[in-house]
Chains A and B, each alone.
Chain A
Amino acid sequence: MIISTEEKKGHLLVTIQPAEASLNNAEEFKSAITQLLDKGEKRIVISFEKVAYIDSSFLGALVSCLKYAIAKQADISLISLQKDIHNLMHLIRIDKVFSIYNSFEEAIQN
């Protein structure tokens, strides 16, 4: 299973399960998030706490999910990014379009 989900304080906490977020599972992730948005989820918090490695294909899928969320008038925020992953998002500036927080509590407060 690419993600686990948990309803928490009016938000849906989505935790990416594999340590490797890559070309191998980018489409599966995109499909899973799209299904959640199609079901009407409006406030999704995606946790990267288990992710140690990410590549451009997965980042592309993440941007695709954000676009779909916007079209569905939903919100996606990201939490618990490891240093390399945050630096990678900063490198290509997609940290400018995602709301990124250290923790779930911090995300829901904002």
Chain B
Amino acid sequence: MPETPLYTATFTVDSQVDLPVFISDLSNTVSAHLPLAPAEADVVLFKLRVIVSELLTNTIKHTQESATTLLRVTITSDGMQLIRQDDCAPMHFPANDKRPSLVWPIPAEHCNHRYTVYEDDLNALSLSINDTGTASFYAWQNPDALINIPSLNEHFGLLMIALSTQAFTYEYQPATKANIFTASIEF
């Protein structure tokens, strides 16, 4: 039997939202429901602020003025899940020299493959697409690499979320045109 959440709430967010205020209020609310010692809670709340900021900045950047996004927050005894859902244009990664163009709904030939989203001397981000087209993001870092600053990537949004989570996935549902990003933090 599934565990009853310690806290769950769904927020409707549009492009007019004052993000810093929204995130600060959410962080304060969630803080009261975390089953963690203060030091551990501080780490989780930092991750929460990073994830929500980037999930919703992404909404503002890539969606229409009139679009609304749902953000669902669920806390259980062993983790927190953040789900962003909207019905805007699906995710798209333009082709580059390392991978083909990736746009959802993803064609069958791109399923069950892993692709590099970007990679530099500081960080790398890849995505793995399963047989139903759901993408899972993975970030890794190479602390021993010599850093060539002029070649550094300047896009950090998805990377920040991937580095702050144990699991970060994207799913597109063609029937409802729903984009669903799910970010999970384990305690």
In the complex, chain B residues whose CB is within 8 Å of the CB of A63: 152-154
With A and B bound together, what is the CA distance between A84 and B154 in angstroms?
19
Q: Which residue of A lies closest to B161 (CB)?
A: A56
Chain A 45-70 against B: per-residue CB contact (8 Å), 1 yes, 0 no? 00000001101110111011011001
Among A5-13, A19-27, A33-41, which stretch is in contact with chain B?
A: A19-27
CB distance from A35 to the nearest CB of B (A): 19
Q: How large is the interface on B (under 10, 10 to 19, 20 to 34, 35 or more residues)?
A: 20 to 34
CB distance from B104 to the nearest CB of A (A): 21
In the complex, chain A residues whose CB is within 8 Å of the CB of B149: 66-67, 70, 97
| 5 closest Cβ pairs, A-B complex | A60-B154, A56-B156, A53-B20, A56-B157, A93-B122
Asked if B155 lies at the interface with its beta carbon under 8 angstroms from chain A, I say: yes
In the complex, chain A residues whose CB is within 8 Å of the CB of B157: 55-57
In the complex, chain A residues whose CB is within 8 Å of the CB of B123: 92-93
CB distance from B59 to the nearest CB of A (A): 11
Contact partner of B147 (CB less than 8 A), chosen from A60, A87, A97, is: A97
Which of A's residues lie within 8 Å of B, judged by CB? 19-20, 22-23, 52-53, 55-57, 59-61, 63-64, 66-67, 70-71, 84, 87-88, 91-94, 96-97
B159 touching A92, Cβ below 8 Å? yes
Asked if B14 lies at the interface with its beta carbon under 8 angstroms from chain A, I say: no
Q: Which secondary structure dominates where chain A touches chain B?
A: helix
B61 touching A97, Cβ below 8 Å? no
With A and B bound together, what is the CA distance between A60 and B152 in angstroms?
10
Asked if B53 lies at the interface with its beta carbon under 8 angstroms from chain A, I say: yes
CB distance from A95 to the nearest CB of B (A): 10
- With A55-B53, A60-B154 already in contact, the answer to whether A84 and B46 are too (CB < 8 A) is yes
Asked if B150 lies at the interface with its beta carbon under 8 angstroms from chain A, I say: yes
With A and B bound together, what is the CA distance between A88 and B150 in angstroms?
21
- With A70-B149, A97-B152 already in contact, the answer to whether A88 and B19 are too (CB < 8 A) is no
Q: Which residue of A lies closest to B148 (CB)?
A: A97
